[in-house]
Amino acid sequence: MPKTVVLSAKARQNIDEILANVVEYTGAVSSGHKLLKAFYTKFNDIGFLPKAYRQLDDGTRQAFCRSYRIVYQEFEKHIEILTVIHSRQQYP
């Protein structure tokens, strides 16, 4: 049974900014919708197999969706998505 995936306020803000930038760059709202769908598909995958993705030194894990790094923390009953950043950006 998959764990519930919860987005932190920071992750929500990251996603909003990413989608706004994608729509502005491409000029197509549909590009933003497709990327958002891809993010939620990956969040679902993380909920099913949270340990399938690389663990970082601080105990968090990271997964990738397109060109974006999703950093998350696994808890007993849920997964918290901490941040979503472009893969070229450094995560602390």
Q: Answer whether residue 92 is part of any domain.
A: no
Look over the chain and give the mean of its residue pLDDT values, rounded to a whole number: 96
Tell me which residue range forms the domain holding 49. 4-86
Q: Answer whether residue 56 is part of any domain.
A: yes
Structural tokens at position 35: 């990327």
Tens digits of residue pLDDT in 38-69: 999 999 999 999 999 999 999 999 999 999 99
Count structural domains, the chain.
Answer: 1
Q: Answer whether residue 91 is part of any domain.
A: no
Task: Give the pLDDT mean for 4-20.
Answer: 98
* Whether the Cβ atoms of residue 45 and residue 81 lie closer than 8 Å to each other: no
Question: CATH no. for residue 80?
Answer: 3.30.2310.20
The confidence score (pLDDT) of residue 1 equals: 83
The confidence score (pLDDT) of residue 89 equals: 84
By residue count, the chain amounts to 92
